[in-house]
Amino acid sequence: MMRRPNRLHHTAYTSKDLEATRKFYEEVIGLPLIATYTEMDELFGKDRTYCHVFFELADGSCLAFFQFADKVDEAEFSPPMPESPFHHIALQVDAETQAELEARIKAAGITEPDTYVLEHGYCRSVYVKDPNGMILEFTLDTPEAVAPDVDAKRRAEARAELARWLAGDHRNNNPYRHAA
């Protein structure tokens, strides 16, 4: 078997306002700030000064953000966040955590369109936009969709289902949301 990475270490994004980012991730989402590195390095032919912060998930992985001291560096390394809901980070949660997150998001005054819920059938997802414009999804899997026999079947069929889709057969195969 091919060796693979153990787990996500961190994802990295840029921020124009690390205090707004900190407040959102610590006070609303509940992820503790566990490391802050302030650095100056020669990167890509120029000295760059930046701050790199890490917010920890329950498994030890992190969401990380950079803020540049120089607005020119910020513009160079901070592409606009996509407006598409198909660009997001999905984090798995249990029912109690999802309910608590929904309450904290509401208490923080975050409303539609910056937060919404989608029932995917195989999971229920709460979406919220962070201060950087990034969309986070908090996903609660339905017990039926993660049952060992269902999981084994999905894994066994994954390549064939992809091949079917790529060949032009776009029939639905989500029995939890729509009739297959």
What order of strands is seen across the sheet that includes strand 46-56?
Answer: 10-14, 62-68, 46-56, 33-43
Given this model, what pLDDT does residue 56 score? Answer: 97
Whether 167 is in a domain gets the answer no
Q: Do residues 38 and 91 lie in contact, with contact meaning Cβ atoms separated by under 8 Å?
A: no
- Tell me which residue range forms the domain holding 6: 1-79
How far apart CA 161 and CA 169 sit, in angstroms, is: 9
Q: pLDDT averaged over the chain? A: 93
Report the number of distinct structural domains present in the chain: 1
Whether 152 is in a domain gets the answer no
Whether 110 is in a domain gets the answer no
How far apart CA 15 and CA 24 sit, in angstroms, is: 12
Q: Quick check: 179 pLDDT over 60?
A: no
% of the chain surpassing 90 pLDDT: 78
pLDDT tens track for 78-121:
988 888 888 999 999 999 999 999 999 999 999 999 999 999 98
Mean pLDDT across the stretch 164-175? 90
Q: Assign residue 21 the CATH number of its domain.
A: 3.10.180.10
Q: Where are the beta strands (DSSP E) in the chain?
A: 10-14, 33-43, 46-56, 62-68, 88-92, 115-119, 123-129, 135-141
pLDDT tens track for 57-66:
999 999 999 9
Whether 84 is in a domain gets the answer no
